[in-house]
Amino acid sequence: MKTYVLNGPNLGRLGTRQVDVYGLISYAGLVELCQTSGAEYGLDVEVRQTDAEHEMLAWLHAAADEQAAVVLNPGAWSHYSYAIRDACAMLRGPLVEVHISNIHAREEFRHHSVVSAVATGVICGLGVHGYRLALAHVAHLARADESTAGQG
């Protein structure tokens, strides 16, 4: 199953940005973790990061057209971008929202995500391991779809 791991603003700064919150893994390390995990789960994973909202919207639209799965860390867009939320609502494949930190234990403005309501599931506060869990869930859903195909 084609799976996009899409990362929003500031995530390209992993390893140097607030290491007490986001850890020491670099963005390159996160990409490697996602690609390795995806391969283990039999997924065709492509990892991308952008600080430009219009670029994220184009990627989400393309994923919707492809019926691809998406693992999304929308970063700060989680809390206010209705454009990102609406693009996520168009997805026809599973959407797992991931946050490295526990957004509910941080500043009050981070406690709510406008994306969560249209996500298949949400993982937060488990560090970059949350990406592995999200990819495992996507693989589980793909296997479940394959096992029920043709039974209708």
Q: Which residues carry out catalysis?
A: 22, 99
Question: Is residue 86 a known part of a binding site?
Answer: yes
Quick one: how many helices (H) and strands (E) in the chain?
5, 5
Question: Is residue 123 a known part of a binding site?
Answer: no
For β-strands 95-99 and 121-124, DSSP reports them as parallel
- Residue 95's nearest CA partner among 73, 112, 117, 72 is 72
Question: Is residue 101 a known part of a binding site?
Answer: yes
Looking at the chain, how many residues does it have?
Answer: 152
Question: Is residue 84 a known part of a binding site?
Answer: no
Annotation: binding site for substrate = 73, 79, 86, 100-101, 110
Annotation: binding site = 73, 79, 86, 100-101, 110
